[in-house]
Amino acid sequence: MVTLPEFILLHAKSLPEGGVLSPKEFLHMGSRDAVDQALSRLTKEGKLLRVARGTYVMPVSSRFGTRAPSPEKVVQALAAQHGEVVSPHGANAANALGLTQQVPIREVYL
């Protein structure tokens, strides 16, 4: 029998980089309080990252250590989950197309 935290980690590992987890996905495994507690404990242990209220992602491990997934992938996953269309701000798009050499400090999405 797989415990709730183990099931959450197995599901998180099956997602691509930037894949988003929400507590609603795991309500069939236990009560809302149990799911929230498991997600909170996994976050404190460093096995998950909380990117927003009720939104978690799996950190990316490499030979240099762990890091957060790329913001573009997280934003695209959130947009797909909510059924929205998200596009980068004009400065990011211009840099990606090679129209300018200025690199924006902050990533902004519309």
Cβ-contact 74, 51 below 8 angstroms: yes
Domain segments of the chain: what residues?
A: 1-69, 70-110
12 pLDDT higher than 90: yes
Residues in the chain: 110
Say which residues have a Cβ less than 8 Å from residue 55's Cβ, sequence separation at least 6: 20, 21, 22, 78
22-56: pLDDT as tens digits: 999 999 999 999 999 999 999 999 999 999 899 99
56-69: pLDDT as tens digits: 999 999 899 999 99
Return d(Cα 108, Cα 89) in angstroms, integer. 5
Cβ-contact 13, 21 below 8 angstroms: no
- Does this model's pTM top 0.75? My answer is yes
Q: Which of 1.10.1040.10, 3.40.50.300, 3.30.70.20, 1.10.10.10 would CATH assign to domain 1-69?
A: 1.10.10.10
Cβ-contact 4, 30 below 8 angstroms: yes
Q: Which residues of 23-47 are buried (b: 16+ CB within 10 A; e: fewer)?
A: beebeeeeeeeebeebbeebeeeeb
